[in-house]
Structure 1
Amino acid sequence: MSIKDGKDYLYLIWKSEKSRKQYIVGQLIKNGQYEFQYYSDVETAINDGFMPLLCFQDLNKVYKSDKLFPIFASRLPDRKRKDIKKILDKYDLEEYDEYILLKRSGARLPIDSLEFIDPILDTDQAVKRIFYVAGVRHYLECSGKNCEKATEITRGDQVYLKQEKDNAYDNNAVQMLSEDGKVFGYVPRYYSAGVSALLEKGRNIVCHIYNVDQNKNCNECIKAIMEVKK
């Protein structure tokens, strides 16, 4: 888990349909009670089309609650569902814990472009993250509808990570390279600062292709797994 100063953090990510950029628009904190506040990306995201959540209209306020905010809890499967055991097994949960389920599932819905991610905050601990590779559409030069060119990349392939400090959009940008040294995408921006810090510390990062799905659009066709041992 991403714990800092005794607090457990989740980032709320929003993806613009117009620019396809992902923004960290908020952070949810569990520290005895729940806290939600907007993140530094939110104003830039608003300029790109993001609408503040109806129950969190004040961009500067820290909202607090003894229970998980209903707007987030409602994104989770009902604990009374007949197949809830199967869902819990999928996320390696022995019992229903809405915060951990939120963290592990991301709570994505087809009706919006929001999801939660588990940030990389403590770069001295073990880290394991599975994520979609960013920027694939640009590097594979595909149509954006399917990933025919992703056939050159297969499950289990080793991936190399390289900082790109002169990147015009993200000074923490981390390129993802195939075994033959070709760039095929980037670490998502919401993980780039953490991964960049891991690289600068000389941590032993092992990264492989986790899955390739040619039937998905080019924003979600290649998934990678990254692990750092303590």
Structure 2
Amino acid sequence: MCKDNKNEFLYLIWKDPKTRRNFTVGKLTRGETFKFEYCEEYNDAQKCGWGKLEAFPNEKVYESNILFPVFSSRLPDPKRRDIEKILEKYGLTQYDAYELLKKNGGRLPIDTYEFINPILSDDKTVQREFYIMGIRHLAPCEGRMCSLLPQIHVGDLLQLSPQPENENDSNAIQVNTNKGEHLGYIPRYYNRAILALLSEGLSYSCQVIEINRLGNCSECVKVCFNIPSIAKE
């Protein structure tokens, strides 16, 4: 759980559809009220063609007694007949829009937004699920034939290798298979936090939990990252 002065918060990520680079553009906070503001890489994203959310046209802190409709509308309707199965999938016992947003990211097929639960500097126990980035640029599939992915399986443990000499991002963390094959990278929005934790010598596990070979190269390998390690060979 991420907190800011005793308030929980999530980051809003926008992925540039051309370069596939992730930008942290907003911060959603839950305390006595809900608040939203632009932050972090907001200006960099604008230079790449991103525009402000229509519901938040100004650079200020917006406040609401309920989760902003522009975000709650990205979630399954609580009146759906199968809502209990959806909640069970995410480990929830009752409908809580904010908790569901934290679990499923509020992702939709019509845009490239996603909410993420950040890792804070004082977190010593971490569990996050995310997709490995950059696979389409490294695997011989070239974004067209996912059957050519390196031979990995659900349950495989992957290795992390910091890349301080990376020309594009000195905080880059390379993800390798257990045979040493370069698979991809940790998402940019988790780089610095994970680097800081690894520098403390904490044990970790990065385990494959989902493989999708149906052609979506941005979301073909999903992992569960844990500190301390909970995986068993």
2:134 alignment partner in structure 1 = 135
CA drift at 1:123: 4.2
One-letter amino acid matched to 2:25? V
Alignment of 1:1-230 (within 5 A): 1-58=1-58, 60-150=59-149, 152-229=151-228
Rounded to whole Å, the distance in 2 between the matches of 1:223 and 1:107 is: 17
Asked if the contact 2:34–2:67 (Cα under 8 Å) also holds between the matched residues in 1, the reply is yes
CA contact (8 A) 1:159 1:176 kept: yes
Whole-angstrom CA distance in 1 between matches of 2:57 and 2:170: 30
Q: What is the aligned length? A: 229
Point out where structure 2 has 5 or more consecutive residues left out of the alignment. Answer: none
- What TM-score results when the alignment is normalised by the length of structure 2? 0.93
Structure 2 counterpart SS, 1:194: helix
Q: Write out per-residue CA displacement over residues 96-131 of structure 1, whole angstroms, 9 at most, x where no aligned residue.
A: 001000000111111111111111114433111111
Output the CA distance in 2 between the equivalents of 1:120 and 1:147.
Answer: 30
Counterpart CA distance in 1 for 2:65 and 2:171 is 35
How far apart are 1:141 and its partner, in Å?
Answer: 3.1
Any idea what the Cα deviations from partners look like across 1:57-88, whole Å, max 9, x if unmatched?
Answer: 11x31111121111101111111111111111
The letter of the residue matching 1:130 is E
Runs of 4+ residues over 3 Å off in structure 1: none
Shift in Å at residue 140 of structure 1? 0.7
Q: Distance in 2 between matches of 1:123 and 1:160?
A: 23
Counterpart amino acid of residue 191 in structure 2: S
Q: What one-letter code is carried by the residue in structure 1 that aligns with 2:116?
A: I
Report the residue type matching 1:108 in the other structure.
R
Gaps of at least 5 residues in structure 1 are none
Deviates more, 1:139-148 or 1:188-197: 139-148
Report the TM-score, using the length of structure 1 for normalisation.
0.94
Amino acid at match of 2:223: A
State whether residues 4 and 121 of structure 1, in contact with CA within 8 Å, keep that contact through their aligned partners in structure 2.
no
Q: 1-side partners of 2:86 and 2:207: how far apart?
A: 26
